[in-house]
Structure 1
């Protein structure tokens, strides 16, 4: 779906709920289209067809977090926060104040508060492999051999997950807790964004997102990793199951890059490099050359 068509959908959605779309501005155009509606300080988020239940669920999770006093992105203060346009679910959210990516300490504190909550019925059990089969199928820049290896590796990871060791008690988790999804406003409030992956699962799943920045990629140094562990009160890398969650996270990041390369040829080299690392062709961790994909 190109940007022009997504903008048309955003305009139609605004008009359907009585918002003025004048000055509609793209914030991000990727798997989901996100547009600012400046006349109302509202953000419209467009999901892919078939994602209606997920989009409505995300709004309900945001309401639950607000009621639980855990700061997060909030539904827009309008009578209708959800509408369908040509099979595309469109949700409306309050625009965030000025903010930056959360620090390791801030992310740890936010996760600690989230993990202490009692899980509501709306949360389902985490699926760490969601959409990976489809991403591999869409990885057209990879060779047939590479895709077969990925499918075999995915099968192995699923088996390891089935036999995962015991860890912390399962709790509400964010599911994708990196600094782009856990932000801090200029007034010092740290809040969660992108609640699509919120679920019930092992708290270690959230903690691994930060831990692999040190152990897998060297993006942060040991001191910052230790600071994160102290702020949360637990070092996930000492858990016997850490390597499993690390391997799944790395696989998710590789599948995402491989699928994206099918639409953005400039990412082909990055996708291939990530796969070569997983296949053991680039030495031991931490690997170099893993670059962030917007």
Structure 2
């Protein structure tokens, strides 16, 4: 059995175990996507998210944020009601959600509109969001990235240390608020009737709103994943261009480092992704010319 098969089987075993605990039908579970989490479609309009090992606190926060947004009237994916969650099995946290009707990824303008709503909310009253940690899991990802040489991993550690110092010295910007944490077009879903909803609250926190805005700037300027016109629409709807802020480069570089280490993490489980992990590392080391770099997606 390959490493990829082993990882996917472990996720499926955890799903089946937690479904038994919660009384949810897991027959004919259909995999949707494997990336940071494993996503499955279950019968009766249920979607399950299976975390990696050790992510119970993040999964619990995700459920809290989704239920808080529902109460605040912000369009977002909804948890399955009447189920105590997350449910844990084999060190993995599983959460259960209502399946959306047919949908597509959002546009840059859709992301901007939902971020304006989210950033305008007062913090939740019944639970406390953690302070934003843009470096979460990066040390572990670098240490485990054995497709890189020892020299390359050491370079990544030094890069991480430089960016941690830069983040600690960020200039003042917009007022701190609730942030999504991973705000890009893949985490905004638009149903056939035109309703846009937020998804994926694993990295939600309290911190600088620029962290959310930089995601779309990176999508445009680093990855070439949206057009100049799309990014202009994002700025117009939100009302601010983070690329004009003095702290932009630091947050951009942190986002890029996260994208490199994500590819490395998936590459340790899927040999087919290792080439992309190498391409990304070369780019941030200055070996691939100017941005945009047009990196490929790494989810399975």
Aligned position for 1:144: 150
Q: In the alignment, is the contact (CA less than 8 A) between 1:61 and 1:122 conserved in 2?
A: no
Matched, 1:131 2:137: yes
- Partner of 1:130: helix, strand, or coil? coil
Give the alignment's Cα RMSD to 1 decimal.
1.5
Aligned position for 1:180: 186
Aligned position for 1:164: 170
Matched, 1:207 2:213: yes
Which structure ranks higher in relative contact order (CA pairs < 8 Å, sequence separation ≥ 6)?
A: 2
- Cα distance in 2 between the residues matched to 1:84 and 1:154: 31
Aligned position for 1:88: 92
Q: In the alignment, is the contact (CA less than 8 A) between 2:35 and 2:298 conserved in 1?
A: no
- Which of 289, 294, 297 is residue 283 of structure 1 equivalent to? 289
Aligned position for 2:28: 23
Q: In the alignment, is the contact (CA less than 8 A) between 1:36 and 1:42 conserved in 2?
A: yes
Shift of 1:148: 0.6
Shift of 1:220: 2.2
Q: In the alignment, is the contact (CA less than 8 A) between 1:57 and 1:122 conserved in 2?
A: no
Q: How does 1:1-294 map to 2 (within 5 A)?
A: 1-38=6-43, 40-120=44-124, 121-288=127-294, 290-294=295-299
> Structure 2 vs 1, CA of residues 232 and 268 (structure 1 numbering), >3 Å: closer, same or farther?
same
- Cα distance in 1 between the residues matched to 2:242 and 2:16: 45
- Cα distance in 2 between the residues matched to 1:102 and 1:37: 24
Which ranges in structure 1 are unaligned for 5 or more consecutive residues?
none
Aligned position for 2:3: none
> Structure 2 vs 1, CA of residues 118 and 189 (structure 1 numbering), >3 Å: closer, same or farther?
same
Q: In the alignment, is the contact (CA less than 8 A) between 1:49 and 1:89 conserved in 2?
A: yes
- Cα distance in 2 between the residues matched to 1:20 and 1:217: 40
Shift of 1:23: 2.1
- Cα distance in 1 between the residues matched to 2:230 and 2:172: 27
Shift of 1:108: 0.5
Q: What stretches of structure 1 move > 4 A for 4+ residues in a row?
A: none
Shift of 1:4: 2.9
Which ranges in structure 2 are unaligned for 5 or more consecutive residues?
1-5
- Partner of 1:48: helix, strand, or coil? strand
> Structure 2 vs 1, CA of residues 217 and 45 (structure 1 numbering), >3 Å: closer, same or farther?
closer
- Cα distance in 2 between the residues matched to 1:63 and 1:142: 40
- Partner of 1:263: helix, strand, or coil? coil
- Cα distance in 1 between the residues matched to 2:51 and 2:7: 13
